[in-house]
Amino acid sequence: MKRSKLTKAQNDARIASEGTKAAKAKFAASRDLIRKRMREIEAEIEGNDGIYPHAKGRVSAAEVLRRAGKSDAYLRKSEPPELVDLRNEVDEWAARVTKALDAGAKVVRRRITERVEHIQGELAQVRQNYIAAEILLSETQADLEKAASKIAELEAQNAALLKEVVGKTVVDLPTRRK
């Protein structure tokens, strides 16, 4: 079966159509990747008590693009309109996150100092609990040694009594009264 021949205009339209489909698919993948990176940044901020651990603690559209593996110029284009909408979305997101973010060297230093002091307090409590557990352990070991020596003494007495009883008649006495 022979393919029908396309005219130059038809062929150009087919190529343009395929190119448009490919560009839309590529843009959709890039948009999804950028949104995914935005969610990851939010999760990192949440996991670090309001401090962004990268880019000197600053969140911007450029940081989102860097995390997504895109050029800084990617969102600067004015075409297609979907890209402009994505740029606005990223800029609004960055402004919202920056507003809620603890930023600045003094703020970050203060927050980290508070965390260190808190952890040092917890460490002191762990050390105190450890010392108390060691004391309890040594007391328990001393009690165990006393009990072991008492058991050995009682076993020796029992053995002596058994030797004394050998060859004699032993009568069991009832333990309960009727």
Quick: pLDDT tens for 81-97. 888 898 899 999 888 88
- Which domain range does residue 62 map to? 18-103
Separation CA 46–CA 131 (nearest Å): 35
Buried b (16+ CB within 10 A) or exposed e, 91-106: eebbeebeeebebeee
Residue 162, pLDDT above cutoff 70: yes
CB 58 within 8 A of CB 52: yes
90 and 112 housed in the same domain: no
Length in residues, the chain:
178
Does residue 139 lie within any of the structural domains?
yes
Buried b (16+ CB within 10 A) or exposed e, 73-87: ebbeeeeeeebeebb
pLDDT top residue among 48 and 118: 118
**What is the reported pLDDT for 142?**
95
Residue 13, pLDDT above cutoff 70: yes
Mean pLDDT of 154-178: 79
Residue 12, pLDDT above cutoff 90: no
72 and 113 housed in the same domain: no
Domain C-terminal end among 87, 103, 119? 103
pLDDT band at 126; cut points 50, 70, 90: very high
Does residue 130 lie within any of the structural domains?
yes
24 and 92 housed in the same domain: yes
pLDDT top residue among 168 and 150: 150
Q: DSSP assignment, residue 20?
A: H
Distant-in-sequence, close-in-space partners of 111: CB < 8 Å, separation ≥ 6: 49, 50, 51, 102
Residue 32, pLDDT above cutoff 80: yes
Helix (H, G, I), strand (E, B) or coil at 35: helix
Mean pLDDT of 4-17: 84
Peptide bond into 174 cis (omega under 30): no
Two structure tokens written together for 139 = 């007391």
Does residue 157 lie within any of the structural domains?
yes
Does residue 114 lie within any of the structural domains?
yes
32 and 48 housed in the same domain: yes
74 and 109 housed in the same domain: no
Residue 3, pLDDT above cutoff 90: no
133 and 95 housed in the same domain: no
Residue 110, pLDDT above cutoff 80: no
94 and 134 housed in the same domain: no
Number of domains the chain contains: 2
Residue 26, pLDDT above cutoff 70: yes
